[in-house]
Amino acid sequence: MALPFANGAFDPVVSYLTLIDVPDIRAAIPGMARVLRPGGTLLIANRTSFGTAGAWTDDGDAVTAVLAASYPVLMAASYEADTLTWALPLMVRANPALLASGRFHLAEVPDGIVGVGGWTPERPGTGEIEPGLGHVRHFAVHPAWIGRGVGRRVFAACRSQAQGGGVSAFECYASLNAEPFYRALGFREFGRREIPLGGGAVGFPAVLMRCRL
């Protein structure tokens, strides 16, 4: 999307943690330069000390390690301890089908994987497919990397891939603690839900959210 400003309108132009969410960086930078006054300054701060890559089935243990490090810590303030006691063992295991789908992405640093997340055309639980709608799945960031753009970078990889496949909107069942993260990405809330776990015997509180891509 082009910046809605006239040529040469600003000095300086600052991009802070913005390009991690932009699918076409080659188009974005000239767009920022266009609104810069002659002789002005363009400042870009992106903080990307990690890369993203598609996951393979062999990454299952590493993905499980990120989920197991992230969910217990980040969910503790939003859920009752009893709820997490039965829910977490079901949630922190990597999903082999998701890993093999080609739609699961990793944020990596030299020491290992620090963020994970993917999407599917099938709605989790039912397998229903709605044309143009994708479903965000199994997002997590290691607690030591929270606030450093990891989740946004993984989401950007998912969004770019989904758009290339004709998806125009994402849906997710956000954990209560993750609602602000998804809201910051442009998701809107459509009410609380109980997500069936363990064969449907129990429900896990979540927030149904959607966003346009």
Model pLDDT for residues 171-204, shown as the tens digit of each residue: 999 999 999 999 999 999 999 999 887 666 678 9
Q: Domains in the chain, please, with CATH?
A: 13-45 (no CATH), 51-212 (3.40.630.30)
Model pLDDT for residues 77-131, shown as the tens digit of each residue: 999 999 999 899 989 999 999 988 889 999 988 888 999 999 999 998 888 999 9
Cα distance between the two ends of the chain: 12
CB within 8 Å of 78: residues ≥ 6 apart: 175, 176, 177
- Answer whether 0.85 is exceeded by the pTM: no
Instruction: Pick the range with the lowest mean pLDDT from 29-38, 79-88, 154-163.
Output: 29-38
